[in-house]
Amino acid sequence: MSERSSTRVEGAQGPMHTGSGNMYVTVGPDLGDPGRPSFRRIADDQLTWLRRVLVAPSGMGAARAELADTGTVILDGLPGSGRTSAARVLLRESHRDSGVFRELLPGEEGELSLTDPGLVGSGDRLLLDLSASDAARWAAARSGLPALRKAVHDQQARLVVVMPHGGVLESDLQRNRVVIDDPPGVNVFRRHLRMHGLPCEQYLRPDPTVDDFLRERRPMREIADFADLVRRARGATRAGDGFPQWCATALRSRADRRNDVAVLVARLRESPQRALLITVAMLHGAHADVIHRATQLLLGVTGSPPEEVPLLQRRDLAERLTEISAETGPDGHVRFTELDYDSAVRTHFWDHMPDLRQHLGVWTAHSVDLDGTHVTRGLRDGMVTQLAGQYLRTAHGEELASLAEEWSSTSASRAGLEAAVQALTCGLNDPAHGRHFRERVYQWCANRRLRGKFAQVLVQVCADVIASSHPDQALLRLYYLARREPDTTHALRALCELVDTSHRLRRRLLNRLAGPALSPAELDIFLSVCAPGPLTDPYDNGRALVEESAVRGALTACWRDVLGDLPPSGWQSQARRWLHTAAVGDRLGGILLDVLVDAADRCGSRRGAAFAALYASARDAECTAPFGSACAAETTDLLFQKICAAQGLGRPTTPPQAESARETES
């Protein structure tokens, strides 16, 4: 992470201070859990899994060759043929030491135009999925493809475009087009079963259920889902059942069960019965103790009166579970006796009791705060995911977003904040609603007044969810959050960590900061991301960021505001790092000094004071120079010469601070 000139204390028992500068004390629940895998790592794991389960479709070899030869391939094929999965695997196979995997979303807030050369970083692996685009969006993308392909070539990157089936393609792009055809369905099915750990002697035998399922053409996603149902049926069926029984159970679970559930609900007239049915559906597989406590919570949230029957005369949980076709297993966890019955129950209550929806949101918020041995992070996330799935399935994404904001705007617990993160994650990862949620997050970050701990939730989803595949959008949203956070540095730290992953992102942030005048918050952002190491670190063909004229201009503009608006105590720590780096003695060190001197030279009426403060900082830096005071003294002397040259003077014997003092006296 970039070093800063301030001191942060997190999770402290009380306030403390270790030196000059600002002090930030973070109090309250912190979502940064080092024991939890980040979504960036999860995204990489998903690409790895996809590569393992993909059966290469017809045309995959030609696509690999075209991508290796030209850096660009355009995939075409029927919907459901696995085009998008093939595209992601092609990019996963192109992994290099430099660059990142990113999905391009032209037209969204925070995304650069396809014609902007700053869109492509060295070695980047870019996916442009337009498989579901209409004619207008596809035409707009095609107009930008020539410039994008050139940038990809110049940066030695890789680009895979998934075009809409039957879309128009210009003649000069036809050579990059490769048609993807469905691989054999039975091979796809067996590959997924093998990756799920099923014994090959089971699924390699002919099975009439599988043959019947694969008789007609199926989309690759549907075959993968059926294989997953077989895996789950294996874990849920009785001992002694084999592969034919697992497949039959999986096929039955695909049947429409709306009528069955409707009949069951009509038979269960009492509130405790229906509350138990809903709870098992939302917390399917949870321990019986959790089911009992959550059921009581639901009865309370919906205003059901407490039972008046004496405790020992009430029906026990085993009897009540039998009424709803559920049971407690040997491990004490509760499941329906039929596979995927929980999904049908959730759908029924959501569709046919709309007045219950608001209560389910309140109940979920209370349930995630339950504690105990059997209440795990995975259980909480699963419950939120089931609720979010109903909102998204019925196109009520706006209500889900508002619910997440409400959960974290009050005095939320850590579990409540994690639930809000999970709800927004579900929306952001949903293919149909992801764009709306990214826009909603942008509006929150840039324009809305954020209450409670909601800013922490937004930092989490930007840094871990959006940044995993859309880092430019995450950069913009974290930048707005960092400008607005008054008492914490959550957004600033996440922003620094993000730009540390990419020279391209650091360049883009510096260009954004180089505006008319930096606000106090933007000054803090700049001082946090302008560490000299990343600026002088060679990349691509050995070039460093500070060698680029546009980057030097941005650095000069920002340092001008720093030197002109902040007292020396606010920036000397970062200036000391610049001076220590410059003391190495190479050409890049001279560029760093030029930037500092040029910035001071533009400080107007404070020009003399800025020169004096820079010189004083250089003298002070000699005491802590990592390469010795003699080398640092030479750097100070070189800085002095550059200051004199900027003032149009020969080398005077009077140091800048004395000159500044005489100017002030006169």
**131 and 165 Cβ atoms separated by less than 8 Å:** yes
Q: Are residues 243 and 136 in the same domain?
A: no
pLDDT tens digits for range 179-218: 999 999 999 999 999 999 988 888 888 899 999 999 999 9
Helix or strand run (H / E) with residue 634:
helix 629-646
Tell me if 221 is assigned to some domain.
yes
Q: Are residues 52 and 110 in the same domain?
A: yes
16/284 Cα distance (integer angstroms): 47
* pLDDT (0 to 100) of residue 4: 35
DSSP string, 103-132: E--TTSTTPPPTT-GGG--TT-EEEEE-TT
β-pair partners for 103: 127
Confidence band (pLDDT; 50, 70, 90) for 22?
very low
Q: Are residues 61 and 154 in the same domain?
A: yes
Q: Are residues 280 and 294 in the same domain?
A: yes
149/402 Cα distance (integer angstroms): 40
Tell me if 433 is assigned to some domain.
no
pLDDT tens digits for range 101-151: 889 998 888 888 999 988 998 889 999 999 999 999 999 999 999 999 999
β-pair partners for 128: 161
Q: Residue 238 burial (CB < 10 Å; 0-12/13-18/19+)?
A: exposed
Residue (of 63, 58, 84, 47) closest to 187 by Cα position: 58
- Can you say whether residue 654 is alpha, beta or left, with left for phi > 0 and alpha for psi between -120 and 50 degrees? beta
pLDDT tens digits for range 357-401: 999 999 999 999 999 999 999 999 999 999 999 999 999 999 999
pLDDT tens digits for range 399-417: 999 999 999 987 678 999 9
Q: Based on the structure, what is the number of domains in the chain?
A: 4
Indicate the residue among 150, 180, 210 that finishes a domain. Answer: 180
First to last CA, the chain: 46
Confidence band (pLDDT; 50, 70, 90) for 576?
very high
Tell me if 159 is assigned to some domain.
yes
343/378 Cα distance (integer angstroms): 18
Tell me if 368 is assigned to some domain.
yes
597/611 Cα distance (integer angstroms): 7
Average pLDDT over all residues of the chain: 87
Indicate the residue among 322, 346, 375 that finishes a domain. Answer: 375
Q: Give mean pLDDT, residues 321-344.
A: 94
* pLDDT (0 to 100) of residue 652: 58
Tell me if 214 is assigned to some domain.
yes
Tell me if 499 is assigned to some domain.
no
- Using a cut of 0.75, tell me whether the model's pTM lies above it: yes
Indicate the residue among 220, 253, 286 that finishes a domain. Answer: 253
Q: Give mean pLDDT, residues 547-552.
A: 94
Tell me if 14 is assigned to some domain.
no
Q: Are residues 547 and 628 in the same domain?
A: yes
β-pair partners for 311: none
- Residues of the chain with pLDDT > 90, as a percent, come to 69
Q: Are residues 118 and 59 in the same domain?
A: yes
Q: Are residues 193 and 173 in the same domain?
A: no
Domain holding 196, by residue range, is 185-253
Q: Are residues 54 and 88 in the same domain?
A: yes
* pLDDT (0 to 100) of residue 651: 61
* pLDDT (0 to 100) of residue 38: 54
Q: Are residues 366 and 311 in the same domain?
A: yes
Q: Are residues 229 and 271 in the same domain?
A: no
**627 and 582 Cβ atoms separated by less than 8 Å:** no
485/69 Cα distance (integer angstroms): 48
Q: What is the CATH number of the domain that holds 98?
A: 3.40.50
Tell me if 207 is assigned to some domain.
yes
Q: Are residues 262 and 242 in the same domain?
A: no
Q: Are residues 239 and 346 in the same domain?
A: no
